[in-house]
Amino acid sequence: MNYSELVEMLKNSINAYHFPIEHRSNNKAVVIVIDGITPIEVKVGEVPTLLLKISSYKTNLMDGYFESNEKIHFQKNNKIGSDGNYVLFYPIIKGLQKSKYQRYFLMVVYEDPTKESGEVSRLAKIVSTKVLKQPVQNIKMPMIMNELKSIGTIPELSIRFYTVNNEDSSVDVKYREYLQVCKLKKEKLQNFKDMPFETMQDLLSDTDNAENYSKRESFIHFGKKEYRIKREIINDAEATIKETAEKIFNASSAITQHQLDNKIHQTDFMVEKMTAVISNYLSIE
């Protein structure tokens, strides 16, 4: 498959999919719904690439309000949506022999100043996995550890521990028939700076540090790269543990007020910004 055929493969997957998609995050009442995707063919340099315009909304709202002339509280079936969520899929073909080519996509998430941090990234992962059948690749732990070892001293390390439990029994019995959800979240955050790699390795393998938390997320920052290592107890009785790792490239671009007001969702403007990110990423990989 060449670049154009890889892009066409993604378009066919979108056209064949029956929307909407409902997604419920663990321990969250709010439901995220993707109700449509518009594929836009563009070029990054000379490479055919696919820009996706994703329409989505949140529903099953338990709290919040909208205020204009008066305050209007959200109802459970109200929807808060956006048609301006953009993700770029840039095809890559690597290898020396045609029979052994490696083909994959760089997924570039466009989070403009109107979006909450991580908002479009969550949509991108849902679309990539469920619609395009291109799951986000988790890096093998030995591979990520070798990369971190080459850094030597870890500039920034953040570790978040948390666990969520049902707490229905804590609600007085006379109110329970009205109860929809009651959960207790326990959380701990640790931040470290300039830690030697070997010390970081010891810390991440130290189970005593996790105490009674069921999940641990470690975030390692090095320049524009971010490494995420997630550890979760799947089955407490059998001590089954799932551990995954991701490598993320973060980049930002300054824009003027005029661009914010008039250009941030123009195709040429977005592609220009994302082309710079791709070029920067490929130059250091």
pLDDT, position 175: 82
DSSP 142-177: HHHHHHHHHH-EEEEEEEEEEEEEE-GGGS-GGGGG
Choose between 273 and 102: higher pLDDT. Answer: 273
Query: In this prediction, what percent of the chain has a pLDDT beyond 90?
Result: 35
Confidence of residue 102 (pLDDT cuts 50, 70, 90): confident
Choose between 224 and 8: higher pLDDT. Answer: 8
- Going from N- to C-terminal start, the domains of the chain cover 3-136, 141-249
The answer to whether residue 236 scores a pLDDT higher than 60 is no
Give residue-wise pLDDT tens across range 218-233. 999 988 888 888 888 7
Short-list 135, 126, 141, 147, CA closest to 104: 135
Q: Quote the distance between the C-alpha of residue 50 and its chain's center.
A: 19
User: Across all residues in the chain, what is the average pLDDT?
Assistant: 85
pLDDT, position 75: 82
Confidence of residue 238 (pLDDT cuts 50, 70, 90): low
The answer to whether residue 113 scores a pLDDT higher than 60 is yes
Q: Considering only 39-53, 237-251, 270-284, which range has the smallest mean pLDDT?
A: 237-251
Terminal C-alpha separation, the chain: 23
In the numeric block, which tokens belong to residue 170?
């804590």
CB burial of residue 13 (10 Å; 0-12, 13-18, 19+): middle
Beta bridge partners of 95: none
Confidence of residue 70 (pLDDT cuts 50, 70, 90): confident
Give residue-wise pLDDT tens across range 36-53. 999 999 999 999 999 999
- C-alpha to C-alpha distance for 6 and 40, rounded to whole angstroms: 14
Cα 1-126-275 angle, rounded to 5 deg: 55
Q: How far is CA 262 from CA 35, 99, 255, 257, in A?
A: 26, 47, 11, 9
In the numeric block, which tokens belong to residue 278?
């791709």
Q: Which of 30-34, 41-45, 275-279 has the highest average model confidence (pLDDT)?
A: 41-45
The answer to whether residue 13 scores a pLDDT higher than 60 is yes
The answer to whether residue 96 scores a pLDDT higher than 70 is no
- 148 contacts 190 by C-beta, under 8 angstroms: no
> How many helices and strands, by DSSP H and E, does the chain display?
6, 12
Choose between 172 and 131: higher pLDDT. Answer: 131
- C-alpha to C-alpha distance for 217 and 197, rounded to whole angstroms: 17
Q: Which of 162-176, 205-219, 267-281 has the highest average model confidence (pLDDT)?
A: 267-281
Phi, psi for 205 (deg, rounded to 5): -95, 0
The answer to whether residue 19 scores a pLDDT higher than 80 is yes
Choose between 85 and 172: higher pLDDT. Answer: 85
pLDDT, position 253: 81
Mean pLDDT of 91-101: 78
Choose between 111 and 211: higher pLDDT. Answer: 111
Short-list 37, 1, 35, 40, CA closest to 21: 35
